[in-house]
Amino acid sequence: MRKRILLFIPLLVFIILVVLFNAQMDTDPTQLDMARAGQPVPDFSLEALDEPTRTLNNADLPDQPYLINVWATWCPACRVEHPYLVDLKEKGINIVGLDYKDERDKAVAWLTDLGDPYSLVLFDKDGRLGLDLGVYGAPETYVVDSEGLLRYRHIGIVNEKVWQDILRPQLIEAGWKP
Amino acid sequence: MTRLLRTLMMLMVMSLSGHLPAAIYEFSSPELQERFEELVYELRCPKCQNQNIADSNSPLASDLRDEVQRLLEDGYSDEAIRNHMTDRYGEFVLYKPQVNERTAILWFGPAAAVLTALIGLFWWLRVKARRDHVAAEAAPQVDEMDEQRLAELKRQAADYEVRRD
């Protein structure tokens, strides 16, 4: 009788493994948690993309909930999401652009050709603010609340589904009123 | 043939040394260089997840190496540099994570598994030893009466054989 029970051990181990693997199925290991969650936007002093002589710092950021979109002309996925960002701007969403490790001429031409969805574009040539934010690729989109605290980070492109399912609820939670 | 072989080996050695981007960094003191080399080996690249920042060619790894160099020259301690990186990229960047609630399973999991196996093995051996002991106890003992009876039977058998002859 005792022997019989022991025969079920492999089945039990198998079931435990199925449960463990299944729990890991939907987690993407390339998506890192945002280390900066709940913290203010790091201090920065960067040139405006369109005006090299104008220096922007934290005081220039919006005081209502907004998005920070990390983009660059070398990033193909950024081109994919760009038209949707323009749509969001038309819906009245305040998006601050962070032009990450890019060339100014190309970036200016990009916005002229494809439309400018940003209320403000920080030119982060060396990726300094990017590093302080914990950016590890483009595009990334951050949700910032009215206190200037970083609430959420989305890795990858923004589209209708991402907006409806993730960013819009996050922005509402951050105090944004549709 | 030997020449070809020698050339091939030379190329292999050269391709190995080409994979050390960390070697091109210059420091104000050899001590900083040493600490740099240790740090870039234990910091993990967030973009190319199975490489450290010494090994990776990604632009982000290169930025992080620059940052480590800058912080070292600014007089940061190793601990402060590690904290600087985890503040930005989370525990993920440490190949040797700190011991805390979230990483406990990484640190103690293997030891716990080995311990469980040892306890299991010990228990199984004890049960087995006890079972053998019980079996030995239960086995029929040959006592004096039996021996006399056995001798009697053997004698009868011998008589029987003699008679048959």
CA distance B154 to B165: 17
Q: Assess: ipTM above 0.90.
A: no
More confidently predicted of B146 and B114: B114
pLDDT bucket at A145, cuts 50 / 70 / 90 = very high
**Percent of chain B that is helix, strand, coil (3-state, to 5):** 70, 0, 25
More confidently predicted of B97 and A151: A151
Give residue B34's identity as a one-letter amino acid code: E
User: Are A97 and A114 spatial neighbours (Cβ–Cβ below 8 Å)?
Assistant: no
User: Are A129 and A44 spatial neighbours (Cβ–Cβ below 8 Å)?
Assistant: yes
- Burial (CB < 10 A; 0-12, 13-18, 19+), residue B25, is middle
Q: Which domains does chain B have, with CATH numbers?
A: 2-93 (1.10.8.640), 104-164 (no CATH)
B63, B81, B102: which to substitute to probe chain A, counting the most A Cβ within 10 Å?
A: B63
pLDDT tens per residue, range A9-59: 999 999 999 999 998 888 888 888 899 999 999 999 999 999 999 999 999
pLDDT of residue B91: 87
Cβ neighbours of residue A25 under 8 Å, at least 6 residues apart? none
pLDDT tens per residue, range B91-123: 889 988 888 888 888 899 999 999 999 999 999
| Count of CB atoms situated within 10 Å of the CB of B33 | 16
pLDDT tens per residue, range B23-48: 588 899 999 999 999 999 999 999 88
Each residue of A11-40: b (16+ CB within 10 Å) or e?
eeeeeeeeeeeeeeeeeeeeebebbbeeee
The arithmetic mean of pLDDT across residues B81-86, rounded, is 95
B94 touches chain A (CB under 8 A): no
pLDDT of residue B18: 47
Q: Which residues of chain B make contact with A30, given a CB cutoff of 8 A?
A: 49
User: Are A159 and A47 spatial neighbours (Cβ–Cβ below 8 Å)?
Assistant: no
- Cα nearest neighbour of A134 on chain B: B88
pLDDT bucket at B12, cuts 50 / 70 / 90 = low
The closest of A28, A177, A2, A3 to A93, measured between CA atoms, is A177
pLDDT of residue B146: 83
Instruction: State how far residue B105 is from chain A, nearest Cα, in angstroms.
Output: 14
Instruction: State how far residue B90 is from chain A, nearest Cα, in angstroms.
Output: 5
- Cα nearest neighbour of B49 on chain A: A30
CA distance B18 to A66: 45
- CA R_g for chain B: 36
pLDDT at residue B16 is higher than 60? no
Length of chain A, please?
178
pLDDT of residue B61: 93
H-assigned helices in chain A:
2-6, 9-25, 76-90, 104-114, 128-133, 160-162, 168-173
Entry pTM: 0.75
The arithmetic mean of pLDDT across residues A114-127, rounded, is 95
pLDDT at residue B59 is higher than 80? yes
What are the tokens at B50?
Answer: 């199975």
Q: Are residues B49 and A137, on separate chains, in Cβ contact within 8 Å?
A: no
pLDDT of residue B116: 96
pLDDT tens per residue, range A72-118: 999 999 999 999 999 999 999 999 999 999 999 999 999 999 999 99
